[in-house]
Amino acid sequence: MNWESRPPRVAVADDAVLLREGIGQILRAGGVEVVASVDTAGQLLDVVARDGALDAVVLDIRMPPTHSDEGLRALEDLWASGSEVGVLLLSMYTTAAYAFRAMSAGSGTGYLLKDRVADAGALVNAVRAVAAGGSVVDPEVVQLLVAARSSEVSLDALSARERDVLRLMAEGRSNAGIASDLHLSLRTVESHIGRIMVKLGIEDSAEGHRRVLAVLRFFRQGA
């Protein structure tokens, strides 16, 4: 991310073409070099892999093909690969699950809400900040994180077996894999997971999101 002597090089991903092109125009006007503009997270990851010299990416969270969490998955893929590319999530949506996943990626990450970006300069400054390894978070997202943390139930509420199940969830095991490792039936594992969600106060939502929230709780509380 050594771009002090040149404009930061950025790629933009958003499936709304007018918004995507508008972001590109704003960044170019602010002295940022936009090297690619794509409409899926997969295309963005391809750009990052091919280019090798990007400083940051700007992407939506909900994009094709499922319009669920493709942007967050791209962020997590970049983080897992050891990439130093800064990531600015620019979205209409925020949930506790989204916020925790985004901020778990550490430095060089930003999360702004599209309808709350004050002006063009704020967007340019946010991109420059994540490109330099900083973090930029919308105050509404911060409030959501604080509220979620303040209402968290301790993992101490879980039984020893439930903690074993949660630990294996954190290691990425499927329900079937957990059943095999713990020598339990699949139905028993599903029952344990259901009780974990109830005890931790994780509300009903898409199953994948519930698992993510439970795993994030596991890591945050140092289980």
3 part of a folded domain: no
Rounded to an integer, the average pLDDT of 91-103 is: 83
Same domain for 65 and 113? yes
Most confident of the following: 95-109, 120-134, 165-179, 194-208: 120-134
- Is the whole-model pTM more than 0.85? no
Confidence of residue 209 (pLDDT cuts 50, 70, 90): low
Other beta carbons less than 10 A from residue 106's beta carbon: 9
* One domain, residues 183 and 74: no
pLDDT at 208 over 70: no
What is the pLDDT at residue 206? Answer: 47
Q: Are residues 134 and 37 in the same domain?
A: yes
* Average pLDDT over every residue of 26-42: 97
Same domain, 51 and 18: yes
| Residues 79, 175 within the same domain | no
Residue for token pair 């690619």: 36
- CA–CA dist 83, 113 (Å, integer): 24
175 and 72 belong to one structural domain:
no
**CATH code for the domain of 31:** 3.40.50.2300
Please name which of 38, 42, 34 lies closest in space to residue 13, comparing C-alpha atoms: 38
Q: Which domain holds residue 201?
A: 155-220
Q: What is the pLDDT of residues 131-142, one digit of tens each?
A: 998 888 888 887
Helical H runs in the chain? 17-29, 41-51, 70-80, 96-103, 120-131, 139-150, 160-170, 175-182, 186-199, 207-220
Please indicate, yes or no, whether residues 84 and 142 belong to a single structural domain of this protein: yes
Spatial neighbors of 98 by CB under 8 A, at least 6 apart, are: 61, 69, 72, 91, 111
pLDDT at 181 over 60: yes
Last residue of a domain, one of 148, 183, 209: 148
Same domain, 47 and 98: yes
What are the CA-CA distances from residue 71 to residues 44, 91, 104 (Å)? 10, 9, 14
The number of distinct structural domains making up the chain is 2
